Amino acid sequence: MEGGKLAVTGILSGIGWTEGNHVTGDDSSHWDISNAQVFVQKTTGWWQFYLQGGAYNLPAIGVPYLSTADTVKNIYGPFPQGYVKFVKGNFNVEVGALPTLIGAEYTFSFENMNIERGLLWNQENAVNRGVQLNWTHKKLTTAFSWNDGFYSNRYTWLSGSASWAFNAANSVSFIGMGNAGTYAKNTLATPLTLNNSQIYNLIYSYTKGAWVIQPYFQYTDVATNPSIGIFQGASTRGGAVLATYNFKRGFSLAVRPEYIKSSGNLASGSVNLLYGPGSGAFGFTVTPTYRKDAFFLRGDLAIVHATDST
């Protein structure tokens, strides 16, 4: 529904989930409301805004399922994103609860090629509160943000991105973010190790005709800092390819192969960033989708194989 310069939209979706070899303490099957959200936004004029509210969950491969009720309660609350935007030509400033600059996958399932987020996404933040400056010039798009990282409510994180569009089909992006301070907070939304990390991405995007292909590389690092309980730091390196092919009559198929490896070992007391210090994991996800107008039906088939787990 749209009225003048104000647009009001929404999404309602459910999820059914079953898995083998599930994590201890998790159930093998789940049924839930995956999204019941409303979006209100103004996208014209010198000042604009966006507000998102409702229920949601954030399923990801290789980790236990968290119910929609627990996700809303323990992660970003009933209003996960909302900000005001001030626009002047090809420059704008956003202030509020913003989507992160990092990563190739978005926060919510309906925004992504796959239902579940991947192994690399598990190392990234999703929503941060702060200020973001955006500027475009011809083929260059840049952004810089001062924010609270992993929803820590402590504004010591800096983020930046630069993207170059070679043409309408091809672009490359470099993104980096890190905590310029330290913070010992440790909650579900603000994990101690991840909130004291640095994250870097190199992302290539190809979009033409029925194809969308997006390979990317990611590096993360958690520095040693005994004062906040990180007695031996560690890092991760990983890569993934996100690809979708759109067939006729509303059908599409998305695939996501990915691999991630963490450093360190048990003997040195390294922090656990994956499935134990020094562990790795390979993941593969395939997502067939059917869409007609506002209705959609899709399914994920995913496998995760951990290596050197401890």
pLDDT tens digits along 33-71: 999 999 999 999 999 999 999 999 999 999 999 999 999
Q: CA separation (Å) from 152 to 47, 120, 163?
A: 28, 21, 27
CATH number at residue 104: 2.40.160.10
Q: What is the pLDDT of residue 23?
A: 78
Q: What percent of the chain has pLDDT over 90?
A: 95
pLDDT at residue number 3 = 44
Q: For 219-238, how does the pLDDT look when each residue is reduced to its tens digit (9 = 90+)?
A: 999 999 999 999 999 999 99
pLDDT at 32: 97
Q: What is the pLDDT of residues 92-149, one digit of tens each?
A: 999 999 999 999 999 999 999 999 999 999 999 999 999 999 999 999 999 999 999 9
| Largest CA-CA distance found in the chain, in angstroms, rounded | 63
Cα end-to-end span (Å), the chain? 52
Helices in the chain by DSSP H: which ranges?
Answer: 68-74, 192-195
pLDDT tens digits, residue range 159-172? 999 999 999 999 99
Taking the C-alpha atoms of residue 101 and residue 161, their distance in angstroms, rounded to an integer, is: 7
> How confident is the model at residue 21, as a pLDDT?
85
Task: Give the integer Cα–Cα distance in Å for 155 and 133.
Answer: 16
For the cut 60, the answer to whether the pLDDT of residue 2 exceeds it is: no
Residue of 1 and 100 predicted with greater confidence:
100
- CA contacts within 13 A on the Cβ side of 155: 10
Task: Give the range of the structural domain holding residue 286, as residue numbers without chain letter.
Answer: 2-307
Structure confidence at residue 26 as a pLDDT band (50, 70, 90): confident
Residues 6+ apart with CB under 8 A from 167: none
**pLDDT band at 22; cut points 50, 70, 90:** confident
| CA gap 155, 158 in Å, rounded | 9
CA 49, CA 194: separation in Å to the nearest integer? 29
Mean pLDDT of the chain: 96
- The number of distinct structural domains making up the chain is 1
- Between the alpha carbon of residue 251 and those of residues 113, 293, 300, the distances in Å are 13, 12, 14
Q: What does the pLDDT read at residue 295?
A: 96
Q: Phi and psi dihedrals of 158, rounded to 5?
A: -125, 135
Q: Identify the pLDDT of residue 158.
A: 99
